[in-house]
Every structure is written in structure tokens, then in C-alpha cells.
Amino acid sequence: MASDTHVPAHQETLALREQFDTAAQQKDASTFGMWIFLITEVMFFGGLFLAYTVYRHLYPDVFDVASSSLNVYIGAANTVVLLCSSLTMVLAVRASQLGQKQMIVLFLVLTLMLGFVFLGVKGYEWTVKFQEHHVPGMGFHLEGLTPDNAVTQGHAQLFFSLYFAMTGLHAFHMVIGAGLLMYLIFEARKGRYSAEYNTPVDLIGLYWHFVDIIWIFLFPLLYLIDRHLGR
């Protein structure tokens, strides 16, 4: 009645769940499951990208001006920070594949720290937006619109609604990612991951890279609209 394979007691890191027949099947299934989860995330963010596409098409000039109000250098720098964290993340996965237990922890910690830097910078950018009255709702006002009237100010609010929704949802996913990294670091320090069993590192790595890919699209779409116009 029990599962068909014996799990030797000392191989507790394998953690073979009873519904699976082999560790390979378990890893396969888990990885496949994570990929399916990631495409649900594609569709989740997809709705926001759709809204962005529609309104940028409808109000290109306003989106132009609104985009220029974002600091492109900070945005680019933050993009680099996130790319660095992707590098450290994949190096953590690599270390786990090679069973280099201390390197796993090192790279995971670096990834986490870079993630915090990103979030910190994002928080700073948001406070700037609050101070500049670029938060949709009461007191919203964007400078530099021509013509500048209630209608175009309304369109500008749409840009910033999308800005906050998209970067906010992205940041939320990063916070979750940070939580997952902290869990991984905690477990990695106990020596839980090895060449035989590194699935969680692998899977959380996939998640982290996905969140990076979302930012790879957010950056040009939000920050780089018609910068040549030099507003």
C-alpha cells in the first residue's frame, strides 16, 4: 500500500513524496509545475500590458510627456541591479547543481541584497512621484502637457495609474521573491541543497528570472517613450 520505492532514512534531503515513484519524476513534475505557474503570471501581467498598449495608442503625446517625468538614469541603473541579481541567482543555482554549499548561500545572499537595492530604489522613485503630485487622484498635476487641460490631465492620470499598477505588482512579486530567497538561504545554511536535491533553488531561480523579464519590458515601456524629444 505504500509507495513503490524505499527512501533510505539518511537520504532525507531527497524528500521523496509518496505520490511520486522516483526522485527524477518528482523533480520533473515540480519543474513543469513551476513553468505552468509562470505562464499564469504571463497572463496575469498580460492584462496590464494590454491596458498600457491600448492607452498608449490612444494618447501617445501625453504618454510621452508622462514618461519623461521619470528619471531614466535611475530606471536604467535599477535595471542593471536586477540583471546583476539574475546573474547571482543563476550562479546560486549552478552552485547547487555542483553541491558547493557555501557558494549557494553566498550567491543567494547577494541576490537578496540586490533585490533589496532594487526595491529601495523603487521606493525612492515612488516617493519622488508622490512629491511631484504625479499620483492619480486628488491633487494630480503633470507639467509640460500641450494642451494642458482637464482632458489631457486625465490621460496623464491613466499613464500613472498604469505606472503604479505595473511597477507595484512587479514590486509585490519581488517582495515575495525576497521572502522565498530568505527561505532558501535559511535552508541552504543547513546544508539542505546538493547535487542530488536542489529543486527549490532551481524553481525559485525560475521565478526570480521571470520577475526580471517583466522588468525588462517595463523599463522601456514606462521610461523610454520618445526620449529624443528631450523634454
Partner 1 sequence: MITTAVHEREHYLNESYGIKSWLLTKDHKRIALLYLFTITFFFFLGGAFATMIRIELLTPTGNFVSNDTYNKLFTMHGVAMIFFFLIPSIPATLGNFFLPMMIGARDLAFPRINLLSWYLLVIGGLFALFAMLAGGVDTGWTFYTPYSTTYSNSWVIATAIGIFVAGFSSILTGLNFIVTVHRMRAPGMTWSRLPLFVWSNYATALIQVLGTPVLAVTIILLFCERVFHIGIFDPALGGDPVLFQHLFWFYSHPAVYIMVLPAMGVISELVSVFSRKPVFGYHVVAYASIAIAVLGFLVWGHHLFVATQSVYAGLVFSFLSYFVAVPSAVKVFNWTATLYKGSISFATPMLYAFGFIGLFTIGGLTGLFLAALGFDVHVTDTYFVVAHFHYIMVGGTIMAYMGGLHYWWPKMTGRMYPEGWAKLSALIVFLGFNLTFFPQFILGYMGMPRRYHVYPDEFRVLHVLSTAGASVLAVGYLLPMIYFIWSLKYGALAPANPWGATGLEWKTPSPPPLHNFDETPIVTHEVYDYSTVIGEEIQVG
Partner 2 sequence: MSNDTHQHIDSVGTYVLVFLGLICLTVATTAVAFVDLGDYSVVAALGIACCKMLLVALFFMHVRHSTRLTRLVVLGGLLWFAILLLLTLGDVLTRGWVGVPGR
> Per CB under 8 A, which of residues 116..155 are in contact with partner 2?
none
Among 74, 90, 128, 165, binds partner 2 (CB under 8 A): 90
> Shortest gap between Cβ of 228 and partner 1 (angstroms)?
25
Name the residue nearer to partner 2 (CB basis): 54 or 176. Answer: 54
Among 12, 15, 21, 175, binds partner 1 (CB under 8 A): 21
SS3 51: helix
Q: What part of residues 28-47 is at the interface with partner 1 (CB under 8 A)?
A: 28-29, 32-33, 36-37, 39-41, 43-47
Q: Residue 195 has what DSSP assignment? A: S
Q: How far is the first Cα of the chain from the last one, in angstroms, to the nearest whole number?
A: 72
- Give the shortest CB-217-to-partner 2 separation in angstroms: 5
- Name which of 106, 117, 127 is nearest 82 in CA terms: 117
Nearest distance in Å: CB 97, partner 2: 5
Name, in order, each residue with C-beta under 8 angstroms of 91's C-beta and a sequence gap of 6 or more.
103, 107
Task: Give least dist CB 84 to partner 2, A.
Answer: 8
Q: If binding is defined by CB under 8 A, does position 15 make contact with partner 2? A: no
CA-nearest of 12, 59, 20, 6 to 226 is 59
Helix (H) or strand (E) holding 207: helix 199-223
In the complex with partner 2, the residue whose CB is nearer, 18 or 196, is: 196
In sign, the C-alpha dihedral spanning 180, 185, 188, 189 is negative
Cβ contacts of 20-23, under 8 Å, gap ≥ 24: 23/196, 23/197
Angle CA 188–191–201, to nearest 5: 40
* Closest C-alpha to 172, from 44, 79, 37: 44
Interacting residues toward partner 1 by CB under 8 A: 1-4, 17-21, 25, 28-29, 32-33, 36-37, 39-41, 43-48, 50-51, 54-55, 58-59, 135-137, 151, 154-155, 157-158, 160-162, 164-165, 169
Which spans of this chain sit near partner 2 (rule: CB under 8 A)? Answer: 24-25, 27-28, 31-32, 35-36, 38-39, 42-43, 46-47, 49-50, 53-54, 57-58, 72, 76, 79-80, 83-84, 86-87, 89-91, 93-94, 97-98, 195, 202, 205-206, 209-210, 212-213, 216-217, 219-221, 223-230
